Chains A and B, each alone.
With several copies, the nearest count.
Chain A
Amino acid sequence: MNYLQEIAYLIGSVGFVIGLKMMGTADSARKGNLVAAFGMAVAVLATLFLNETGFHVIGNLGYIMGAIVLGTVVGTLMAKRVQMTAMPEMVSLFNGMGGLAAALISIIEWTHLQHTGETVGLGLFVPIVAGLIIGTVSFIGSMVAWGKLNGKLGDFRFPAQQYINALVLALIFVAAYLTFNGIGSDRMMWFYITMVIAIVYGLLFVFPIGGADMPVVISLLNSFTGVAAACGGFLYDNNVMLMGGVLVGSAGTILTVVMTKAMNRSLTNVLIGMVGSNSNGGGAAAGAGGSVREVQATDVAIMMKYAQKVIIVPGYGLAVAQAQHVCHELELLLENEGVDVKYAIHPVAGRMPGHMNVLLAESSVSYDKLIEMEDINPEFNTTDVVLVVGANDVVNPAAKTDTTSPIYGMPILDVDNAKQIVVLKRSMKSGYAGIDNALFYDPKCGMLFGDAKESISKLVSEVKAL
């Protein structure tokens, strides 16, 4: 036992925990990421240059360094080039790579064991096969999620989905059992059969889930990969893999639950592909309820130009329409006219947590204009005009008033306290939660129909023309 390596692994594990803790608070989050990365560096270096007996350079160092350098270059380029709004795709892709690595390790180890012909006990078999199955499901699932978020893959639902999935899951266990008990070359075959069924399961698992629910799925697959890494920890009696893997497995699971809660979804509903998905298509047309006042860009432009204080509430529609840049333009224009303009950031506006921060920061809106929900809510009653851009659920008063509403209890932006409300969306269709919004029927509220980007462009030229 080489103590230095063990100590390095301990440092790595502690780095992961402290890093993750710091990532949980906005102020220290970025440093936390660095702390976790430092822990990883220590652990990797200890693996390369220490072994059971002392300082010792690992075999095939050339190949290893080659792969690491290649991975570093490619990974950095991808991560640096990706559009801010495409972050979930990127995370999903990298997550899949981790799952793939876990599966590949299992494949090599098993092949190796078959060659040496050793008898394999359960203690060795379980981590290998669990790593294979979980890693494969995570890999395939992440790829599907990636494709869906990219728009390359659509939703695909099939009847009796849950039963079929349960059946496939059972088949995996049967195949794993046969892998353990098979003899000679059969065991290799059964191993690959297990893998193939795991691939099928990965496909069936993620395909039916609505595109809008993908962040939840990615978070779940993330915790899967953590468990797969922990299997590697068992296999090599490697504490840092075990600890890092278990940490992500546990934190990832809780994160998934917390995330679904923040979105007012249940994990079960997400997994069986219920609701949620219809937000992509636009959902059902609005149900019964009062009359709606349509307004024209000219009127809105006048209203805003002569207002003292305007708050912009961005939502998913702003992201889809890619209207963040023109929105920033409008903001600057109004500020020039002496109007006080702010953005009200709801934590789950959009399709991933923090979506709006990322989006608006990208179009170089300054940070101190982005006000979090709790801080801006008291400001609405001193606001002349609220411009709701492609947001719907996050301004739905049903969350406060209607106990039967699926979003009841979700904290919302209290836009109805403002003097005037203008909503920019294309139709009366509902948002992610698929429910009607009483705000649109409020006498103070005017609807400016049309694509968010086009509507805002019109507003910009009208304000300029005034």
Chain B
Amino acid sequence: MNTVIQFIGENITYFYLIILMIFVGIELIGHVPSVLHTPLMSGANAIHGVVVIGAIIVLGHAESTDYFSLVIGFVGVFVGTLNVIGGFVVTDRMLEMFKKKPKK
């Protein structure tokens, strides 16, 4: 119990941030029309590509002789970038199909 309290207390700001962001996520999606579900999924997919930043940090800090980290890190940045770029481009293409109709 005490460790849990201490853990929460020490990371209280993280808890605020996470909880608030969860609320934001829930509220943002709750009222979306169903035709937009696919592009929305795709857009969210691109956003979690932010994980590429972790891969960049890892690769950026790898020793120049640490081939394991260099190779895996390279692959990490590559696939992360695929996620980001592919995700945004594919979403854009989809949304092009949902262009605003001329007002009736």
Residues of chain A at the chain B interface (Cβ within 8 Å): 1-4, 6-7, 10, 12-14, 16-17, 19-21, 23-27, 29-30, 32-34, 36-37, 40, 43-44, 47-48, 58-61, 63-64, 66-68, 70-72, 74-76, 78-80, 82, 84, 87-88, 90-91, 93-95, 97-98, 100-102, 104-105, 107-109, 111-112, 215, 218-219, 222-223, 225-226, 228-230, 232, 234-236, 238-255, 258-259, 262, 345, 347-348, 352-355, 357-358, 361-362, 367-368, 370, 372
Contact = CB atoms under 8 A, between A and B. Distances in A.
Contacts of A218: 41
Nearest to B11: A123
B29 A36 contact: no
A354 B36 CA distance: 6
A367 B98 CA distance: 8
Contacts of B30: 254, 258
A89 to B, nearest CB: 10
B18 A246 contact: yes
Given A70-B78, A353-B35, 7 more contacts: A33-B39, A37-B88, A79-B90, A98-B83, A222-B44, A255-B29, A354-B36
Contacts of B20: 17
A356 B89 CA distance: 20
B86 to A, nearest CB: 4
Contacts of A345: 35
A358 B82 contact: no
Contacts of A48: 56
Contacts of B90: 79, 82, 87, 90-91, 94
A64 B44 contact: no
A97 B18 contact: no
A2 B38 CA distance: 38
A243 B24 CA distance: 11
| Dominant SS among interface residues on chain B | helix
Given A20-B43, A353-B37, A67 B78 contact: yes
Given A97-B83, A246-B18, A241 B45 contact: no
Contacts of A90: 86, 90
Given A72-B81, A255-B41, A26 B46 contact: no
Contacts of B45: 91, 94-95, 98, 222, 225, 248
Given A37-B88, A91-B90, A249 B54 contact: no
A60 B86 contact: no
A87 B38 contact: yes
Given A29-B39, A347-B34, A248 B58 contact: no
A179 B22 CA distance: 30
A253 to B, nearest CB: 8
Interface string B72-103: 11111111111111111111111111111110
B36 A26 contact: yes
A104 B55 contact: yes
Interface string B1-36: 000011011101011111111111111111111111
Contacts of A367: 99, 101-102
A78 B54 CA distance: 24
Interface string B55-68: 11111111010001
B87 A258 contact: no
A366 B60 CA distance: 49
B89 A358 contact: no
B34 A348 contact: yes
Best-buried of A13, A34, A235, A247 by chain B (most CB within 10 Å): A247
26 contacts: A10-B8, A20-B40, A23-B91, A36-B43, A60-B73, A67-B59, A67-B77, A68-B81, A75-B81, A75-B82, A75-B83, A78-B86, A79-B90, A87-B38, A87-B94, A97-B83, A222-B41, A228-B48, A246-B17, A247-B25, A249-B22, A249-B25, A254-B26, A352-B38, A354-B94, A354-B98
Given A4-B9, A59-B61, A80-B93, A372 B35 contact: yes
Given A82-B90, A245-B48, A112 B36 contact: no
A290 to B, nearest CB: 31
Nearest to A5: B9
A262 B9 contact: no
Contacts of A98: 45, 48-49, 51, 79-80, 83
Contacts of B102: 367-368
A345 B19 CA distance: 37
Contacts of B23: 17, 21, 250
B29 to A, nearest CB: 4
Contacts of B18: 230, 242, 246
Given A47-B53, A94-B83, A255-B29, A357 B97 contact: yes
Nearest to B98: A26
B46 to A, nearest CB: 7
Nearest to A229: B51
A104 B72 contact: yes
Contacts of B75: 67, 104
**Interchain residue pairs A-B with the least CB separation, the first 4:** A3-B9, A71-B81, A250-B25, A353-B37
Contacts of B34: 258-259, 262, 347-348, 353-354
B77 A71 contact: yes
